[in-house]
């Protein structure tokens, strides 16, 4: 009969959402229940196509390719023997304007389309699901940790070890990312005796510690005032000398936190302690004393929040990233209780305290963005007004203003947060159907435009009289800029590799340009580190500086290994040699740079030999 109702298609296995809700799944891609409920159907990710659907998909792709061939100037594949010389060949000179955005250097000048995706190096590691034919296919629900900086560093490191088989593999089995996952030492978990509080250094040593923390540890994250700290130290020492038991515990906790932080950022100094301790436990006694005096559950004033921020910087400098994230959560909880995110709670406060509350909240926002981006965890400060993340309502016009660098740093942190949110969401559509996540090229272009606008605010030429504090601020801001570029482009590094198992079947110039931009950002980071060292301003105690060095070294070594024999990689190999020399000069004082040096010595030995043969 012509009016006979067609039989419902028998589905051997329902999609994930229908199984969870115990609904009838019709097996479409996506299925009707998911489409009506506006849910992400697991069948929409591919892997469950019939032969008819597969043919239709091929026909659609052929039609898209024919349209591309018909449009003028549309190229879809770069030369197979090419190397990103236009991005890597230019060595940064000793000029301030050499660190601009790489947007103008992109080889693809055609406007990106909204439906164009670039494949990343991040693979779906979730559990497989079953299809109707009994085979297993991957679901594509993204674990945000996969896009975390430490996870991608492990992936690139493993790929570098895979390509550099001529090195001794057993010597590089330890991942570089483990350097930032140090477990807290046993001293941090044991109870502290009250005798430990009788270890106050001399007053001159405290003044020196304050200078180190204000000038170096809080560079571009200025939440401590030198005058306030000196007055606080005077009060504490006056109470100690008078044997007054009614001392301010929170003020003493802040002073101990400052002393602990200064030990991490200072070279081993006998004036601060008579004992030489391992680098990662420097100042641990001061840190424990500060934590014993401070109750995180009762942090209801700015002094307690400043102490928590010092603890965040200390645990980060000690490479205890998980512990650092815990203290960030404590500080965020205290900030929310105090209403630092809300102007209504500031109405009865004076201008000075309102300004201090806003600066503290801004620095906490910066720390939250950096740490969560490295760990791949959701930010604790989300859905807030972008203006609240800035240390002041109006941008400082004087470059010598202590908040000038913090203001620019806050703006850059917002761009980094936008990069993570737009390019690394929890669910990512897959364009290539091969188990690797993809990112829209239009989002990458939007981030590039924001980075270029931000960079134009920096000093394009150094003034005639540039003090070391301002020089450090400007150079580190440029290093932060290079780091954000690495975050933006590092998932696409494999597109710039010639000898790689991760080469795509149909690479595009846009994907190739993103991989090349990652190499350019890594070379820029090497130059900035050398510039800091030449100026006597380099301090590897900041974990994000060391992490940038790690990632730059691994990316450059991987690029040279995969493009071995090409005449255009000489300059990249020279950059690898120079970053190796920097690590060698500081390996004795910094354990992480020692790890990076060991990696470059073992897995990259042939890089230096090949470079020296061409010199």
Tokens at 495, concatenated = 């597109």
- Predicted local distance difference test score (pLDDT) of residue 76: 39
Q: Diameter of the chain by CA atoms? A: 105
- Predicted local distance difference test score (pLDDT) of residue 268: 45
- Predicted local distance difference test score (pLDDT) of residue 9: 56
CA 161 to each of CA 148, 149, 155, 324: distance values in angstroms, whole numbers, following the listed order: 20, 18, 10, 30
CA 377 to each of CA 199, 329, 386: distance values in angstroms, whole numbers, following the listed order: 38, 12, 20
Q: What is the pLDDT of residues 513-560, one digit of tens each?
A: 898 999 999 999 999 999 999 989 999 888 889 989 988 998 898 888
- Predicted local distance difference test score (pLDDT) of residue 81: 37
Q: Where in the chain is the domain with CATH 4.10.240?
A: 1-74
Q: What's the gap between Cα 44 and its chain centre?
A: 31
**String of DSSP letters for 198-259:** S----HHHHHHHHHHIIIIITTT-----HHHHHHHHHHHHHHHHTT-S---HHHHHHHHHHH
Spans of the chain, pLDDT less than 50: 1, 72-95, 97-115, 126-142, 144, 166-173, 268-280, 426-433, 501, 504, 606, 608-615
In CATH, what class is 1-74? few secondary structures
Q: What is the pLDDT of residues 153-210, one digit of tens each?
A: 777 777 776 665 544 444 444 566 666 777 776 656 555 555 555 578 889 999 999 9
Task: Determine how β-strand 136-138 pairs with β-strand 436-440.
Answer: unpaired
- Predicted local distance difference test score (pLDDT) of residue 90: 42
- Predicted local distance difference test score (pLDDT) of residue 83: 41
**String of DSSP letters for 22-69:** TPPP---SS-HHHHHHT---GGGGSS---HHHHHHHHHHHHHHHHHHH
Rounded to a whole number of angstroms, the distance between the first and last alpha carbons of the chain is: 84
CA 81 to each of CA 494, 505, 563, 572: distance values in angstroms, whole numbers, following the listed order: 15, 15, 9, 17
Is the torsion defined by CA of 331, 337, 338, 342 positive or negative?
A: positive
- Predicted local distance difference test score (pLDDT) of residue 305: 95
Tokens at 508, concatenated = 């595009």
- Predicted local distance difference test score (pLDDT) of residue 455: 95
- Predicted local distance difference test score (pLDDT) of residue 170: 42
Q: What is the pLDDT of residues 257-312, one digit of tens each?
A: 999 999 999 864 433 444 444 444 578 889 988 998 888 778 889 999 999 999 99
């Amino acid at each position: 009969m012509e009016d006979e109702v067609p039989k419902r298609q028998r589905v051997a296995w329902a999609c994930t959402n229908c199984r969870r809700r115990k609904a009838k799944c019709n097996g479409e891609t996506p299925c009707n229940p998911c489409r009506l409920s506006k849910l992400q159907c697991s069948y929409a990710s591919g892997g469950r196509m019939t032969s008819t659907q597969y043919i239709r998909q091929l026909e659609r792709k052929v039609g898209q390719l024919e349209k591309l061939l018909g449009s003028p100037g549309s190229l879809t594949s770069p030369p197979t023997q090419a190397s990103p010389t236009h991005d890597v060949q230019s060595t940064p000179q000793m000029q301030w304007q050499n660190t601009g955005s790489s947007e103008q250097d992109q080889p693809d000048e055609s406007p990106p389309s909204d439906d164009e995706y670039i494949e990343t190096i991040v693979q779906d590691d979730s559990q497989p699901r079953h299809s109707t034919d009994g085979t297993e296919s991957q679901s594509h629900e993204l674990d945000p940790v996969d896009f975390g900086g430490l996870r991608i560093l492990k992936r690139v490191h493993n790929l570098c070890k895979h390509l550099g088989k001529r090195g001794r593999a057993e010597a590089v089995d330890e991942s570089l990312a483990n350097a930032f996952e140090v477990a807290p030492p046993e001293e941090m978990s044991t109870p502290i005796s009250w005798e430990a509080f009788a270890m106050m250094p001399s007053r001159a040593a405290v003044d020196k510690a304050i200078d180190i923390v204000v000038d170096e540890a809080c560079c571009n994250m200025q939440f401590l005032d030198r005058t306030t700290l000196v007055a606080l130290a005077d009060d504490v020492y006056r109470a100690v000398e008078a044997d007054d038991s009614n001392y301010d515990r929170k003020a003493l906790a802040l002073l101990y936190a400052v002393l602990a932080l200064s030990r991490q950022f200072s070279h081993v100094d006998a004036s601060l302690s008579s004992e030489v301790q391992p680098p990662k436990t420097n100042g641990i006694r001061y840190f424990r004393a500060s934590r014993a005096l401070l109750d995180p559950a009762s942090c209801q004033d700015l002094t307690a929040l400043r102490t928590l921020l010092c603890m965040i910087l200390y645990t980060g400098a000690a490479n205890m990233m998980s512990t650092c994230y815990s203290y960030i959560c404590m500080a965020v909880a205290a900030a929310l209780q105090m209403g630092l995110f809300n102007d209504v709670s500031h109405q009865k406060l004076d201008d000075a305290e309102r300004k201090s509350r806003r600066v503290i909240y801004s620095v906490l926002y910066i720390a939250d963005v950096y740490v969560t981006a490295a760990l791949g965890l959701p930010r604790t400060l989300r859905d807030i007004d972008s203006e609240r993340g800035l240390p002041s309502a109006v941008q400082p016009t004087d470059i010598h203003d202590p908040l000038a660098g913090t203001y620019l740093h806050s703006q850059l942190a917002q761009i980094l947060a936008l990069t993570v949110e737009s390019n690394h969401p929890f669910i990512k559509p897959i364009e290539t159907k091969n188990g690797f996540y993809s990112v829209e090229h239009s989002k990458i272009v939007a981030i590039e435009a924001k980075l270029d606008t931000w960079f134009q605010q920096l000093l394009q030429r150094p003034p005639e009289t540039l003090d070391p504090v301002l020089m450090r601020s400007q150079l580190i801001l440029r290093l932060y800029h290079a780091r954000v570029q690495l975050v933006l482009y590092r998932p696409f590094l494999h597109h710039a590799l010639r000898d790689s198992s991760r080469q795509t079947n149909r690479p595009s110039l846009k994907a190739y340009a993103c991989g090349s931009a990652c190499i350019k950002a890594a070379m820029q980071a090497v130059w900035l580190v050398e510039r800091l060292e030449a100026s006597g301003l380099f301090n590897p105690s900041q974990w994000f500086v060391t992490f940038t060095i790690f990632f730059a070294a691994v990316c450059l070594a991987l690029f040279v290994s995969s493009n071995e024999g090409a005449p255009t990689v000489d300059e990249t190999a020279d950059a690898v040699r120079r970053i190796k020399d920097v690590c060698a000069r500081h390996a004795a004082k910094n354990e992480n740079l020692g790890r990076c040096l060991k990696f470059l010595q073992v897995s990259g030995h042939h890089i230096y030999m090949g470079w020296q043969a061409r010199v």
